[in-house]
Structure 1
Amino acid sequence: MLPTSIKSDFPILSETVNGKQIVYLDNAATTHNPTQVLEVSRNYYEKLNSNIHRGTHHLARAATNAHEQARMTVAKHLNAASLDEIIFTSGTTDSINLVANILTVSPGDEILISTLEHHSNIVPWQMLAERYGAKISVIPCDEDGVLDQDAFRALLSNKTKILAVGWISNAFGTVNPVREMISAARENGTLTLIDAAQAVPHMTIDVQSLGADFVAFSGHKIYAPTGIGILWGKLELLQQLPPWRGGGEMIKQVSFEGTTYNDPPFKYEAGTPNIEGGIALAAAIDYVNEIGMDEIHAHEQALIEAAATALQDIPGVRLFGPSERVGALSFAIEGVHHYDLGTLIDQMGVAVRTGHHCCQPLMARFGITGTTRASFAIYNTMEDIELLGNAVRKASSMLR
């Protein structure tokens, strides 16, 4: 287990709710920022704040250097083959929309997604399919929330042009066998996008060995601010594909007769980016790497297993997802609405997420409207798990 002193790096965790120090278990929605990241953000606005790339004055050069150094940090963390493969976006949703707007398909082509997907990895593909008359196909899951790999292989055909799948389910914590799925898609000539929003905070990602064509994630899932994210794409694809948004930075030359576009990654970074966010994301990556991704994974796995054990002992509790989960633990209590449960345990100082978790098709698959979800991060402790169990048990007895 990681030392409990890590919690002191996160100022917000000293806040109280109804006189109790907050137990924050909503990390799949957003994580908090350590002091080390907050200081970098403050330093940017106090000492570096300026627009980047086009200025010759001192602040412009300093901000540009810090921003491009952040790109290097992200590239190293993902083991990207080139800095030019790292595109700054506003988050996973923006990254997926970018890809869905630069790819084209033909009438009758198929885009393959899964039952487990977040709405952000469903709706952009539906919009792409509508534009071109393509079809959305869906990989089903079993009663444990595990994707049916036989069905996946049966759905993969010469019509399948794009496979877009999440690495880890934000709702159930299911870890999908994305390496094997990417390999099968590649053999089929299918482009692949991996939604790694829930994977990045919990495990090491090596995009070169992964083999996908695109990988997307958000900074606010890995202890950075909101409004910053990454799209990694294979350089040869980024060079071939068109830009999405037009404006400053993504051009080489503009005239009224026509425009020539910049090279990746700038080709996909129109306008002034979230400069501070990119620099803060790099600081967050440095923070987790200093702790160690293997150590983080082991710590969080011990927490989620302890939470599952504690909740299973409560009468009427149903756990969703496979026994081997990462990041998130969804549950329901017979006869208790998830919103009522979440509201009541919040009054006891325990923060969890309730609802459909932007996974309405998955909830429909299980015949429910939502769940209560506890999700875990480096600053959570076994004491947090004990307090969660006690709060859920007490709330359940009051509501049933």
Structure 2
Amino acid sequence: MLDVQKIRKDFPILKREVNGKLLVYLDNAATSQTPKQVMDAIVDYYSNYNANIHRGVHTLSQEATDKYEAARHKIQNHFNAAESHEIIFTSGTTHSINLVANGFSTLLEKGDELLVSAMEHHSNIVPWQMLAERTGAILKVIPMNLEGELLMDKYDDLLSDKTRLVFCNHISNALGTINPIEEIIQKAHGVGAAVLIDGAQAAPHIKVDVQKLDIDFYTVSAHKMCGPTGVGMLYGKEEWLNKLPPYQGGGEMIAEVTFEKTTYAELPHKFEAGTPNICGGIAFGAALDYMNSIGFEAIAAYEHELLEYATQKLLDIDGLKIYGTAKNKTSVISFNIEGIHPYDIGTILDKLGIAVRTGHHCAQPIMDFYGIPGTVRASFCFYNTKKEVDALVAGVKRAVNMLL
């Protein structure tokens, strides 16, 4: 069991007021809040050993390097990667996906096929569209049903000996659906295709074992799991990372440079050109330490309890419809009220100090599938409470009374 009140004391922002009301923060699928323990790691870096890494013999540089690489090992251990050099620091999930898409431009031929799920974030659609345009590859879509679940029989039909890469989110940011990635990976490998899983929404809720999944690429953003913005990671199997060319050129990613020829550094530095977000990487490691101290099983159980409670309470409101009713989902509820635009509901909730997300959530094809302009999305974290859910429900009811 979680001591939620004790946990909430670690998050200073939860004490602030918005529009004269105590903040109720329910936009965790966009960005989770940051505990004091992670803030302390950031302050410690800039206060005591701010220096560039891998390049200096002086003490500060060595200390910064040791802390940064220690964070890489923390990430490796958390996701159970076989080697630390299979962990590439990036600016986040979008950067990670673009890195892989850029690399595959050298591996694809005209007529090769790429499969994407119908419930992807734009960052896991647009880079592959750009890749298909550059290479002549064909992009095909794995459809979903009205409950927000992928049609796996259609996936089977789409797979062929022409399939080169399959990409899918682990959890939908717009619907909360937990996709059957074990089956997706196994079947893709059966036709010789690689798989990239967007783990941005899953990593805050599920402890992922990349070796057990036998995944080729997995992406994560730190800011969705109590870490800072502007940093994330790409996990890639060593054999795949060695096949891909560097994404950017510059310092750190080279072994030797002459005007005649440049040779590239070994993994992971081959993909980490320039001065990285050193402090961000270190703070990412601190965020993982914090979440592991709470325990991912306890987090998952508590967030599921919040999901069920909020679902039941919201469905008692006349005219409310939830989008994404998959049997297997996490703590995200996207909903609309008949006759009211989601933006109007979000605006009134903000006046009550309640932060939710409105719009298409960078998943416009999902909204087009349902024939709606967007939804109100409430997304819960382990520091949220049932009292905050009650505030959300009361706020929605108030919005309905004002707008209808």
Query: For 1:393 and 1:105, how far apart are their aligned partners in 2?
Result: 53
Query: For 1:300 and 1:390, how far apart are their aligned partners in 2?
Result: 20
Contact 1:37 1:284 in 2 (8 A): yes
Q: Secondary structure at the match of 1:9?
A: coil
Query: For 1:51 and 1:323, how far apart are their aligned partners in 2?
Result: 47
Shift of 1:8: 1.1
Question: Structure 2 length normalisation: TM-score?
Answer: 0.98
Tell whether 2:175 aligns with 1:172.
Answer: yes
Structure 1 counterpart of 2:125: 122
Q: Secondary structure at the match of 2:321?
A: strand
The total of aligned residue pairs comes to 400
Structure 2 counterpart of 1:244: 247
Tell whether 2:73 aligns with 1:72.
Answer: yes
| CA offsets 1:287-335 (integer angstroms, 9 cap, x no match) | 0000000000001110111111111000100001125420311000000
Give the RMSD, CA atoms, in angstroms. Answer: 0.8
Query: Equivalent of 1:385, from 362, 384, 389?
Result: 389
Structure 2 counterpart of 1:344: 348
Query: For 1:208 and 1:57, how far apart are their aligned partners in 2?
Result: 37
Tell whether 2:206 aligns with 1:221.
Answer: no
Query: For 2:228 and 2:175, how far apart are their aligned partners in 1?
Result: 24
| CA offsets 1:158-198 (integer angstroms, 9 cap, x no match) | 11111010000000000100011100000110010000000
Query: For 1:15 and 1:81, how far apart are their aligned partners in 2?
Result: 42
Shift of 1:339: 0.1
Q: Secondary structure at the match of 2:376?
A: strand
Which 4+ residue blocks in structure 1 deviate beyond 2 angstroms?
none
Equivalent residue letter for 1:10 = F
Q: Secondary structure at the match of 1:364?
A: helix
Shift of 1:238: 1.2
Query: For 1:33 and 1:17, how far apart are their aligned partners in 2?
Result: 18
Uncovered stretches (5+) of structure 1, i.e. residues with no partner: none
Contact 2:100 2:244 in 1 (8 A): no
Equivalent residue letter for 1:235 = E
Contact 1:50 1:63 in 2 (8 A): yes
Shift of 1:51: 0.3
Equivalent residue letter for 2:253 = M
Query: For 2:48 and 2:367, how far apart are their aligned partners in 1?
Result: 47
Query: For 2:78 and 2:321, how far apart are their aligned partners in 1?
Result: 37
Query: For 1:145 and 1:236, how far apart are their aligned partners in 2?
Result: 34
Contact 1:198 1:327 in 2 (8 A): no
Uncovered stretches (5+) of structure 2, i.e. residues with no partner: none
| CA offsets 1:227-273 (integer angstroms, 9 cap, x no match) | 00000000111123211100001000000110110011100000000
Q: Secondary structure at the match of 2:242?
A: helix
Q: Percent identity?
A: 54
Shift of 1:18: 1.7
Map of 1:136-147 to 2, 5 A cutoff? Answer: 136-147=139-150
Contact 1:28 1:328 in 2 (8 A): yes
Q: Secondary structure at the match of 1:55?
A: coil
Equivalent residue letter for 2:41 = V
Contact 1:200 1:222 in 2 (8 A): yes
Structure 2 counterpart of 1:34: 35
Contact 1:304 1:328 in 2 (8 A): yes
Structure 1 counterpart of 2:161: 158
Structure 1 counterpart of 2:11: 10
Query: For 1:24 and 1:198, how far apart are their aligned partners in 2?
Result: 17
Equivalent residue letter for 1:359 = A
Query: For 2:383 and 2:63, how far apart are their aligned partners in 1?
Result: 33
Contact 1:28 1:327 in 2 (8 A): no
Query: For 2:399 and 2:373, how far apart are their aligned partners in 1?
Result: 20
Tell whether 2:27 aligns with 1:23.
Answer: no
Contact 2:27 2:380 in 1 (8 A): yes
Question: Structure 1 length normalisation: TM-score?
Answer: 0.99
Query: Equivalent of 1:317, from 316, 320, 323?
Result: 320
Q: Secondary structure at the match of 2:114?
A: strand
Query: For 2:216 and 2:321, how far apart are their aligned partners in 1?
Result: 37
Query: Equivalent of 1:375, from 376, 379, 402?
Result: 379
Query: For 1:264 and 1:127, how far apart are their aligned partners in 2?
Result: 26
